[in-house]
């Protein structure tokens, strides 16, 4: 389903002669998905990338661009940082709504209670539960930091 949304978005952008940035970003997304499809074939899976893998690809692409934008700003290249942020906006169109900081805190607390976690030794299973429930819609860097604070 997500794969079809991206393909449809690319076709629509090309027909509407949308910005070069949008078309290029959508092509980059498709290329990353195709790379994952090829890797899946090596793992003897005929169906290619799953929805979860596509979500992971998109999340990774956003994270990479955020890091690049920060580096460009520190390096005095605001025009390149702006381009990275514009690409992030295109990619986020295909991701689920991101949880707010408060929602992340609530989810972390809920999982800690549910698993009766008491120390850092329980962090792995708690983070695994968060990833199962909120794949693509949560910043796991922030969640991990909160989890560590709560379990320390």
Q: If DSSP states are collapsed to H, E and C, what string results for the chain?
A: CHHHHHHHHHHHHHHCCCCHHHHHHHHHHHHHHHHHHHHHHHCCCCCCCCHHHHHHHHHHHHHHHHHHHHHHHHCCCHHHHHHHHHHHHHHHCCCCCCCCHHHHHHHHHHHHHHCCCCCHHHHHHHHHHHHHHHCCCCCHHHHHHHHHHHHC
Per-residue pLDDT, 139: 82
Per-residue pLDDT, 45: 67
Rg of the chain on CA atoms, in Å? 18
Asked whether residue 113 falls in the same domain as residue 88, the answer is no
Per-residue pLDDT, 84: 95
Q: Is there a contact between 51 and 2 (Cβ–Cβ < 8 Å)? A: yes
> Tokens at residue 124, please?
């792995």
Q: Domain boundary at 66, 92, 118, which?
A: 92
Asked whether residue 81 falls in the same domain as residue 20, the answer is yes
Asked whether residue 108 falls in the same domain as residue 88, the answer is no
Per-residue pLDDT, 51: 86
Per-residue pLDDT, 40: 80
CATH of the domain at 128: 1.10.10.410
Range(s) of the domain holding residue 116: 101-151
Domain count, the chain: 2
What string of pLDDT tens digits covers the 152 residues of the chain?
889 999 999 999 998 887 899 999 999 999 999 999 888 877 776 677 888 889 889 989 999 999 999 999 999 999 999 999 999 999 999 988 888 889 999 999 999 899 888 888 888 888 999 988 887 788 888 888 999 988 88
């Amino acid at each position: 389903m997500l794969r079809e949304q991206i393909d449809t978005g690319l076709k629509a952008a090309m027909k509407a002669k949308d910005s070069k940035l949008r078309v290029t970003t959508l092509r980059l997304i498709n290329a990353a998905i195709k790379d994952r499809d090829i890797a899946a074939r090596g793992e003897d899976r005929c169906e290619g990338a799953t929805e979860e893998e596509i979500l992971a690809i998109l999340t990774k692409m956003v994270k990479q661009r955020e890091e690049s934008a920060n580096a460009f700003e520190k390096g005095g290249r605001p025009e390149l940082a702006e381009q990275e942020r514009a690409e992030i906006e295109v990619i986020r169109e295909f991701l689920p709504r991101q949880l707010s900081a408060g929602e992340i805190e609530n989810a972390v607390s809920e999982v800690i209670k549910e698993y009766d976690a008491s120390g850092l030794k329980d962090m792995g299973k708690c983070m695994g539960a968060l990833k199962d429930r909120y794949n693509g819609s949560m910043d796991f860097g922030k969640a991990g930091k909160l989890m560590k604070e709560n379990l320390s």
